[in-house]
Structure 1
Amino acid sequence: MAFKKLLASLGAGGASVETVLHEVNVVPGGVVQGEVRIQGGSVNQQIEGLSVGLQAKVEVESGDQEYKQDIEFTKSRLGGAFELQANAVHAVPFGLEIPWETPITMIDGQALRGMNIGVSTELEIARAVDSSDLDPVNVHPLPAQKAILDAFIQLGFRFKNADMERGVIRGTRQRLPFYQEIE
């Protein structure tokens, strides 16, 4: 039994986590609903916590270099510590609010290249490797955003590229640590 606990602490035979989103299409200010399913491993394990959040792949400029970084920009804790019995299944429903500033990833049913936003799930396991999961969400524009994008198209502009850049636009009340550029 001690050997199984050692293996579980290294991730082999330990608990696993899967997040199921009820609807992957959302809008800024909306809520993504889902359920986190935790499958017990071969031994009982102490779970220290469970959380879900939104994560974006953001471009970071540093000197002469550019690189991508995953930034979690909202997080919600779903519960406290509990003991997960071996082979048990534990399901936790959740509703995660989408911040108003969340960049859009879809326009007219088409994914914007370079826009990666998803629900991240973290299962904190005592003395073990953390299990995590990332599930993509499609963030559609609000009607006002859609009207502006449609106006650009009517003026003859064509979509070239989109990205998210780490930083703050001066003179705004920006809350997220990054912003979206649509070219």
Structure 2
Amino acid sequence: MVFKKLLGALGVGGPTVDTVLATPAVQPGGLIQGQVNLVGGTQEAKISGITLTLVARVEIEHSEGESDGLASFARYSVSPPLTLAAGEQRSIPFAVPAPYETPVTSVAGQHLHGMSLGVRTEVEISGARDKGDVDPLGIEPLPLQRGVLEAFAALGFRFHSADLESGRIRGTGQSLPFYQEIEYLAGPQYAHLFKALELTFLATADRVEVVLELDRRSSDVINRHVLDRSSTGQDLTAVVDGWIRHALANAPSGHSGHGYGGGHGFGAGPVVGAAAGAVGGLVLEEFADEFVEEIFED
């Protein structure tokens, strides 16, 4: 897509940039591939560099409630300095990895309501960095993650929503400054024991850490589990059922809270302004209207 903001910054006749993703959907750890197409304007342009940034919509809790912000969580330089002649056309291929903790946005081709990720192309030119438009990026689950999700479906759980929360879950191997929560309504055999369950995946190259939070009337029960590659391809229905039964059997009798500190229990902190600031190392930006329209339409 052509950078409308880049044209505005350089004036009419400046260069244009169009990033094309050859892999509009990948798995965590997979390669995002494509090319950045440059077209020179009416005069020579010296480009200091081109950077691809992975961005996502993240929710943050603060004293005034909740706000959404745009968080960047991976940056890749895809071009050395170059000079683009007037009218010159040039294509720069790229292949950059999606972090293993990149949140899942779709399952079996079905978009998870509430999830919005994209690849933003930034061009440094004339001494200024111009943040251009964003191309939507889909993330399909790893085989281990898919096995867990299929197990919940087999147990009668119904997907309700998904979002990204700023903060960190203590005692885990989390590396990104936010985490995904996938919420399911309890299956019929569990509905009298708890009403909903939130699932968080923390993946690495050889394992997936699973954090479960059961929403009970008397207390919130949190358990952590780890699956390694040996579980890939297996039917995990009995395993997941065992996780839930273990959590219920060891649930405290009174209200325990989340036990992680912070407003939400997973390490959420304050935010500066309505939708901008820095929280636990996570920098949030305000949304541009065109970004909301292009990427965040559910």
Does the TM-score normalized on the shorter chain lie above 0.5? yes
Matching residue's letter, 2:104: I
Distance 1:19 1:10 in 2: 18
The match for 1:104 is: 104
Give the distance between the partners of 1:161 and 1:146, measured in 2 at CA.
17
Equivalent residue number for residue 130 of structure 1: 130
C-alpha displacement at 1:80, in angstroms? 2.3
Unpaired segments of 5 or more residues in structure 1? 1-6
| Alignment length (residue pairs) | 177
**Residue in 1 that maps onto 2:20:** 20
Q: Determine if contact 2:122/2:129 at 8 Å carries over to the other structure.
A: no
Secondary structure in structure 1 of the residue aligned to 2:58: strand
Max Rg structure:
2
Percentage of matched positions with identical amino acids: 46
AA aligned opposite 1:92: I
- 1:160 has 2:146 as partner: no
CA shift for structure 1 position 14: 1.2
**Cα displacement (A) at 1:37:** 0.6
Alignment of 1:30-179 (within 5 A): 30-127=30-127, 130=130, 132-179=132-179
The match for 1:3 is none
User: Residue 8 and residue 164 in structure 1: after superposition, are their counterparts in 2 closer, same or farther (change >3 A)?
Assistant: closer
> Residue deviations 1:130-169, cap 9 Å, x none?
2513111110011111111111111111000000111111
Aligned partners of 1:23 and 1:130: how far apart in 2? 24
Shift of 1:118: 1.1
Query: Which structure carries more relative contact order (alpha carbon 8 Å, separation 6+)?
Result: 1
TM-score, normalised with respect to structure 2: 0.57
Q: Comparing both structures, which one devotes a greater share of its residues to strand?
A: 1
Aligned 8 A contact 2:44 2:85 in 1: yes
With structure 1 as the length reference, what TM-score do the two structures score? 0.90
- CA shift at 1:12, angstroms? 2.4
**3-state SS of paired residue (1:146):** helix
Assess if the C-alpha contact under 8 Å between 2:60 and 2:165 holds in 1. yes
Q: Secondary structure of the equivalent of 1:130?
A: strand
1:119 Cα deviation from its structure 2 partner: 1.2
In the TM superposition, residue 79 of structure 1 has moved relative to its aligned partner by 2.1
Pair 9,145 (structure 1): closer, same or farther in 2 beyond 3 Å? closer
More displaced stretch, 66-75 vs 127-136: 127-136
Query: How far 1:65 moved relative to its partner?
Result: 2.5
Structure 2 spans left out of the alignment, 5+ residues: 1-6, 184-298
Query: What amino acid sits opposite 1:75 in the alignment?
Result: R
- The superposition leaves residues 107-131 of structure 1 with CA deviations (integer Å, 9 ceiling, x where unpaired) of 1210011111111111111156725
Preserved CA contact (<8 Å) 1:16 1:131? no
Query: What is the rounded CA distance, in whole Å, between the counterparts of 1:131 and 1:41 in structure 2?
Result: 18
